Amino acid sequence: DAGVIQSPRHEVTEMGQEVTLRCKPISGHDYLFWYRQTMMRGLELLIYFNNNVPIDDSGMPEDRFSAKMPNASFSTLKIQPSEPRDSAVYFCASSRDDGELFFGEGSRLTVL
Amino acid sequence: KQEVTQIPAALSVPEGENLVLNCSFTDSAIYNLQWFRQDPGKGLTSLLLIQSSQREQTSGRLNASLDKSSGRSTLYIAASQPGDSATYLCAVTTAGGSYIPTFGRGTSLIVHP
């Protein structure tokens, strides 16, 4: 299996622009997680899905952030409008019922 | 709310030493505990997963133990090598509630030749 695949790997954008991050989980994994990592806060869970249904989005910082999972093999995290404080590395991870998490390589976002 | 602490935050050792990295958690009702390695600019790589019913897991030079009653896990690295240099994170998934892994801040390890 190719593992969790994220795109883009790097994104540089200007404040106010829309950003869309993409994730393809490992086939057969029922859980999908979106995390954000910064030096200040470490790894923060933003939202997670079970069988394509959002279960807990309490970590989503504000209404500018939204996430979707239209099918078992694809999820998006959207920021609109983006702000400089959104600059971070965004990770997607997936797991089966045993709870072993597998991470993608991350999307490094820089908002100028 | 589960809280996960990793001590020390940073560690620098000479090659060949045996190491112990610590992870402590506040709620002992856990579903599992997982150790990861993160290289600079990379994602997290799963090293070991310990289910609640298990006491330890081993993979090569790595051994992770779990003591739920004391709220602790240790990652033992035998005969450390420069290639082991990375940040090591533990994540604890609490049982009975939301299926949310809580991460520690990690231990940054440097093994020098």
Measure the CA dihedral B41/B45/B47/B53, to 10°: 130
Q: What percent of chain B has pLDDT over 90?
A: 87
Is B34 in contact with A56 (Cβ distance < 8 A)? no
Is A98 in contact with B49 (Cβ distance < 8 A)? yes
8 Å CB contact between A68 and A87: no
Check whether B32 has a pLDDT greater than 80.
yes
Q: How far is B24 from chain A (nearest CA, A)?
A: 17
Q: What is the mean pLDDT of residues B10-32?
A: 95
A-B CB pairs within 8 A amount to 54
* Strand spans (E) along chain A: 5-7, 10-13, 19-24, 31-38, 42-50, 53-56, 65-71, 74-79, 88-95, 102-103, 107-111
B99 contacts on A by Cβ (under 8 Å): 31, 48, 50, 55, 99
B103 contacts on A by Cβ (under 8 Å): 42-43
Q: Calculate the alpha carbon distances from B48 to A79, B38, B87 in Å.
A: 33, 13, 15
Taking Cα atoms as reference points, which of B20, B71, B30 lies closest to residue B51? Answer: B30
**How far, in Å, CA of B70 to CA of A12, rounded?**
45
pLDDT value of residue B97: 64
Q: Which helix (H) or strand (E) holds B49?
A: strand B44-51
Is B98 in contact with A56 (Cβ distance < 8 A)? yes
Check whether B31 has a pLDDT greater than 80.
yes
Q: What's the Rg (C-alpha) of chain B?
A: 14
Burial B78-91 (b: 16+ CB within 10 A, else e): eebeeebbbbbbbb
Is A101 in contact with B100 (Cβ distance < 8 A)? no
Residue in chain B nearest A41 by alpha carbon: B105
Q: How far is A73 from chain B (nearest CA, A)?
A: 19
Quick: pLDDT tens for B80-111: 999 999 999 999 998 876 678 899 999 999 99
Q: Does B39 touch chain A (CB under 8 A)?
A: no
Tokens of A68: 């979707």
Check whether B21 has a pLDDT greater than 90.
yes
pLDDT in tens, chain A (112 residues): 689 999 999 999 999 999 999 999 999 999 999 999 999 999 999 999 999 999 999 899 889 999 999 999 999 999 999 999 999 999 999 999 888 999 999 999 999 9
Average model confidence (pLDDT) for chain B? 94
Taking Cα atoms as reference points, which of A80, A101, A100 lies closest to residue A92? Answer: A101
pLDDT value of residue A1: 63
pLDDT band at B41 (very low <50, low <70, confident <90, very high): confident
pLDDT value of residue B47: 97
Q: What is the mean pLDDT of residues B23-32?
A: 93
pLDDT value of residue A22: 98
Residue in chain B nearest A34 by alpha carbon: B100
